[in-house]
Amino acid sequence: MRVLYNIFFTIFFVLSSPYYFYRMAKRGNWGAGFWERFGSYDANLKQALTNRHILWVHAVSVGEVNLMVHFIRALEQRAPNLKFVVSTTTTTGMYMLRQRLKPHISKIYYPIDHPSIVNRALATVHPDAIVLFETEIWPNFIWQAQKRRIPLFLANARLSDRSFRGYKRFGFLFRQLFASFEGIAAQNQAAAERFRSVGARPDCIRVSGNLKYDAATAADPGGLDATVLLKQVGVNGDTPIVIGGSTHDGEEVILAEIAGRLRAQFPKLFLILVPRHFERCNEIARKLRDSGVKLVHRTAIRPETSFGPGEVQCLLVDTTGELRFFYEHATVVFIGKSLTAEGGQNPIEPGASGKAIIFGPNMQNFADIARQFLEKNGAVQVPDAAALEKVLRELLDDKYQRAELGRNALLVVSENQGAMDRTLEMVLQKLKSMDVYVVPQPA
């Protein structure tokens, strides 16, 4: 089984690597840390890891990296002598880690899942335990960790419909992998049942809840002062603001066109667009300017920048990790990847800010979360762009309806907190048994 996997993986990697490296080059800054992907690390990392208890924590996407940041900040308080090594796959994720975690936390790229590469990485880091966020399953990494008897944990774990079907179909490969986990913190009971059915040991699974609810209300020191920035682009306290959060291709143009029509009724209306992939911002800006939208890039704003009211109609946020700071100033929030693409994005952060939330018909990746918001009347779901415009108009015109949606959204967030403490305890129990010093919880 392992031989076949490695043969197919090697063939796939060789064939796909030109596209993979092209994507890296297109995103920029691909050279920094490039060889870490092949398990080659500099002497500074090796020195920093000498004679330490080490926890390796890994996350892939920007959303998972954000959860990992809050997890590490919380765990540092309970295990102050623990050395952290954090890894991610993308340059965007690495940018966030470097921006939001202190220098004493070692940051590396996750190794390519080839036996020799993974073996080299684990031999260098030599972790006491490994925590993987969501469901990041790479067979060689897990096999090599098993061989070294390194405890493995899954945090904020879930299985999408597609992943679940795939793991069931290839059970001969994945059942043993899931059975190797020391602990799995599932987001909900349905996820727990799925993990059991793909081979995870029942005694290692616990329903901990979704960490996104805790992260949405956690303090974020050193964040953006969005109030000052918005004043620089002419946005005052009475300016209605529509935010498109984590938008995907096509949604920016739709929102800009809707905003243009709504300005007949709300002349001061200001649009903030935060694309899920900031690399698309130049293309988005070209399309919007061609249609007459007066916009400014977030990165073009300097301390001396100053626009009068109405000089700018749209702020295009071409940075990463700042969306939550803009949500605090929203009048209405639209959740991206729900109208022109499938999957949806996370509505919890605007919910934690008590904002009126709208999302489209496609929230597959956040189905359970979306359902909770809808059942509590904490969000509005629309079927298409025409309905989105109608609901936006209604909400901009009715502050009482906006306030009710915001209160209900806050209630959803508050009712679902506690996952962070439960996940921490899962990991800390094992660390204590390995003689890692853990600060006792106050009585």
Which tens digits make up the pLDDT trace of 232-249? 999 988 999 999 999 999
61 plus 181 within the same structural domain: yes
If one counts the domains in the chain, the total is: 2
CATH number, domain containing residue 290: 3.40.50.2000
163 plus 56 within the same structural domain: yes
pLDDT value at 222 more than 80: no
The model's confidence at residue 219, banded by pLDDT at 50, 70 and 90, is confident
- The answer to whether the predicted template modeling score (pTM) of the entire model surpasses 0.85 is yes
pLDDT per residue as tens digits for the range 317-342:
999 889 999 999 999 999 999 999 99
d(CA 202, CA 191): 12
CATH number, domain containing residue 42: 3.40.50.11720
Residues sharing a CB contact under 8 Å with residue 175, sequence separation 6 or more, in sequence order: 198, 199
d(CA 164, CA 168): 6
The three state secondary structure string of 357-378 is EEECCCCHHHHHHHHHHHHCCC
Contact 168, 205 (CB under 8 A): no
67 plus 185 within the same structural domain: yes
375 catalytically annotated: no
Contact 314, 271 (CB under 8 A): yes
pLDDT at 90: 84
Per the prediction, the chain carries an average pLDDT of 93
Residue 399 lies in a domain: yes
Average pLDDT for 21-47 = 79
d(CA 71, CA 257): 40
372 plus 427 within the same structural domain: no
Residue 219 lies in a domain: no
Contact 427, 204 (CB under 8 A): no
Task: Provide the edge-to-edge strand list for the sheet that holds 270-275.
Answer: 295-297, 314-316, 270-275, 241-247, 332-335, 356-359, 380-381
Please choose, from the candidates 175, 174, 195, the residue with its C-alpha nearest in 3D space to the C-alpha of residue 184.
195
pLDDT value at 25 more than 80: no
Phi-psi region of 420 (alpha: psi -120 to 50; beta: other; left: phi over 0): alpha
pLDDT value at 142 more than 70: yes
Residue 276 lies in a domain: yes
* % of the chain with per-residue pLDDT over 90: 76
d(CA 142, CA 146): 6
Residue 442 lies in a domain: no
Q: Position 345: which residue type?
A: Q
Average pLDDT for 143-169 = 94
Please choose, from the candidates 422, 436, 437, the residue with its C-alpha nearest in 3D space to the C-alpha of residue 183.
422
CA distance readout (Å), 439 to 76, 131, 151, 185, 425: 10, 20, 21, 22, 12
The model's confidence at residue 28, banded by pLDDT at 50, 70 and 90, is low
42 plus 132 within the same structural domain: yes
Q: Position 117: which residue type?
A: I
Residue 350 lies in a domain: yes
Residues sharing a CB contact under 8 Å with residue 31, sequence separation 6 or more, in sequence order: none
pLDDT at 443: 59
26 plus 53 within the same structural domain: yes
Which tops the pLDDT comparison, 18 or 67? 67
Average pLDDT for 194-211 = 96
pLDDT at 183: 97
Cβ burial of 9 (10 Å; 0-12, 13-18, 19+) is middle
Domain carrying residue 330: 226-415
Phi-psi region of 377 (alpha: psi -120 to 50; beta: other; left: phi over 0): left
pLDDT at 24: 67
164 plus 95 within the same structural domain: yes
The model's confidence at residue 9, banded by pLDDT at 50, 70 and 90, is confident
pLDDT at 161: 85
408 plus 423 within the same structural domain: no
Residue 221 lies in a domain: no
pLDDT at 29: 62
d(CA 93, CA 239): 33
385 plus 422 within the same structural domain: no
128 plus 177 within the same structural domain: yes
Please choose, from the candidates 338, 331, 351, 315, the residue with its C-alpha nearest in 3D space to the C-alpha of residue 242.
331
pLDDT per residue as tens digits for the range 377-425:
999 999 999 999 999 999 999 999 999 999 999 999 999 999 999 999 9
Residue 278 lies in a domain: yes
Residue 217 lies in a domain: no
pLDDT value at 75 more than 80: yes
Contact 183, 423 (CB under 8 A): no
Choose the catalytic residue: 64, 134, 136, 252: 64
d(CA 413, CA 289): 37
Residues sharing a CB contact under 8 Å with residue 164, sequence separation 6 or more, in sequence order: 194, 198
* % of the chain with per-residue pLDDT over 70: 97
pLDDT value at 31 more than 80: no
201 plus 92 within the same structural domain: yes
253 plus 384 within the same structural domain: yes
Average pLDDT for 435-440 = 89
Number of C-beta neighbours around residue 217 at 10 A: 16
